[in-house]
Structure formats: structure tokens, C-alpha cells
């Protein structure tokens, strides 16, 4: 996927990134501050920077070398290690946790990635009950998950959902408990 495909958030500062995306990373940073965190499908790295600013040691991985280069240029931090890699091939024994925001819906076989990741996970997907993937919409997404489908996917990789959160819109509104939003966020552990 090209950097300017329309699927990625691309801006040289956080001011140009959609508020709901920034809010998810701030939520993760509050929970994972001070830990070693894998940012799976990091895109241009604004989230990796938010995690690093919260004291995390971050492994920022994305399949797109152009996105990684952009991140190094605009969101550099000494606590971020940047890597070009397919998230399904990533196995990170040294990480305490993983954030996987808006990546699982892009994968043909997301279970291959999930089974290789650390025991703590915060992941988000579009809520298929509210934002269905229909032919011609979301061309870069393989599928959207309803909350029960998302939970089955996570359970299949050995995760247990400890908290459900959601976001109702893209404006940057705070996360709310439950699964009634357009984006569903699962806090998980094994």
C-alpha cells in the first residue's frame, strides 16, 4: 500500500492526524507507559512517538518502507526502533505488549500475527455491525469484525478480552466502555 493511498494517516505533526487515531494511542500509552511495546502496522509512526513520549521502548513495524522512512524523518525518538516487516512474520519475544490499531482488518490471516505477539494486547478494528465492509468500500480492508467475531479471532490466538472500549466517531471523541461505537477496542491478555 502506498503512503498516499488514502488508507493511511499522513501528516508531519500530530495536528494533521485524525483525533480518533491519536486518542487510541494515548489510551495505550497510559496503560503501557514504561514497557517495551510492539507497534504492529505503525504506519508513519505518530503512535510509536506517542508511546515513546510516555516512556515506552517501542518496536515500530510496518510493511511499507516509505511509511517507515517518513516516520523516521517526522516522528523520530531515541526509544523507537523502526523495522520494515510483514506483521504476520513478526515474533517479538522482548516486547511486553503490542498495540495493533487498524491493522487486523487488512490481513488475510490475522491469526498468524496474533499467535506470535506478546501476552498483553490492545487492538482495534472497524465495528462490522456499524461500519460494514461491502463491495467497493474500504478497498484495502479484507474484512470488518462485529464484536463477537473480533472476540472469536482474539480467543483463537489465546487472548482473553479483559475490557471492551469503543469510539463513536472519527472526531477524536474519548473512548467509551462497551462495543457500540464505529471502532471497537479490545484490551487483552493471555
Length of the chain: 190
What is the SS3 string spanning the chain?
A: CCCCCCCCCCCCCHHHCCHHHHHHHHHHHHHHCCCEEEEECCCCCHHHHHHHHCCCEEEEEECCHHHHHHHHHHCCCCCEEEEECCHHHCCCCCCCEEEEECCHHHCCCHHHHHCCCCCEEEEEEEECCCCCCCCCCCCCCCCCECHHHHHHHHHHCCCEEEEEEEECCCCCCCCEECCCCCEEEEEEEC
Task: Examine residue 111 and state whether it is found in any structural domain, yes or no.
Answer: yes
pLDDT at residue 131 above 70? yes
How confident is the model over 40-74, as pLDDT tens digits? 999 999 999 999 999 999 999 999 999 999 999 99
Distances (CA, A) of 176 to 104, 137, 172, 186: 21, 26, 12, 12
Asked whether residue 7 is domain-assigned, the answer is no
CATH number assigned to the domain comprising residue 54:
3.40.50.150
pLDDT computed for residue 30 by the predictor? 96
- pLDDT tens, 82-91? 999 887 776 6
Provide the 10 A C-beta neighbour count for residue 108: 8
9 in a structural domain = no
Q: How confident is the model at residue 133 (pLDDT cuts 50, 70, 90)?
A: confident
93 lies in some domain: yes
In a domain, 6, yes or no: no
For 72, list phi and psi in degrees, rounded to 5.
-60, -40
- The answer on pLDDT for 3 being more than 90 is no
Residue carrying the nine cell digits 460494514: 132
Is 1 part of any domain? no
Residues of the domain holding 92: 14-189
Question: pLDDT class for 140, splitting at 50, 70, 90?
Answer: confident
The region of weakest confidence among 31-45, 46-60, 71-85, 122-136 is 122-136
The tally of domains found in the chain comes to 1
How many CA atoms does the CB half-sphere of 84 hold within 13 Å? 8
Extract the C-alpha cell encoding 189: 491478555
Radius of gyration of the chain (CA): 15
Identify the sign of the CA torsion 113, 87, 173, 7. Answer: negative
| Residue 35 counted as domain residue | yes
Decide if 24 is inside a domain. yes
Who has greater pLDDT, 28 or 142?
28
Nearest residue to 124 (alpha-carbon basis) of 94, 147, 157 = 147
Hey, what's the cell of 165?
472500549
pLDDT digits (tens, 9 = 90+) for 91-120: 666 899 999 999 999 999 999 999 989 899
Amino acid at each position: 500500500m502506498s503512503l498516499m493511498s488514502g488508507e493511511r494517516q499522513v501528516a508531519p505533526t500530530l495536528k494533521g492526524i485524525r483525533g480518533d487515531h491519536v486518542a487510541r494511542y494515548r489510551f495505550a500509552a497510559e496503560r503501557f507507559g514504561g514497557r517495551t511495546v510492539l507497534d504492529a502496522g505503525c504506519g508513519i509512526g505518530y503512535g510509536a512517538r506517542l508511546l515513546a513520549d510516555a516512556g515506552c521502548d517501542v518496536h515500530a513495524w510496518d510493511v511499507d518502507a516509505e511509511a517507515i522512512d517518513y516516520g523516521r524523518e517526522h516522528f523520530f525518538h531515541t526509544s523507537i526502533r523502526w523495522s520494515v516487516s510483514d506483521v504476520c512474520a513478526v515474533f517479538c519475544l522482548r516486547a511486553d505488549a503490542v498495540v495493533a490499531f487498524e491493522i487486523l482488518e487488512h490481513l488475510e490471516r490475522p491469526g498468524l500475527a496474533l499467535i506470535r505477539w506478546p501476552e498483553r494486547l490492545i487492538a482495534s478494528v472497524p465495528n462490522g455491525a456499524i461500519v460494514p465492509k461491502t463491495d467497493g468500500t474500504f478497498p484495502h480492508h479484507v474484512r470488518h469484525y462485529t464484536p463477537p467475531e473480533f472476540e472469536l479471532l482474539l480467543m483463537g490466538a489465546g487472548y482473553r478480552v479483559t475490557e471492551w472500549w469503543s469510539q463513536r466517531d472519527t472526531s477524536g471523541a474519548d473512548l467509551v466502555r462497551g462495543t457500540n461505537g464505529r471502532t471497537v477496542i479490545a484490551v487483552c491478555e493471555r
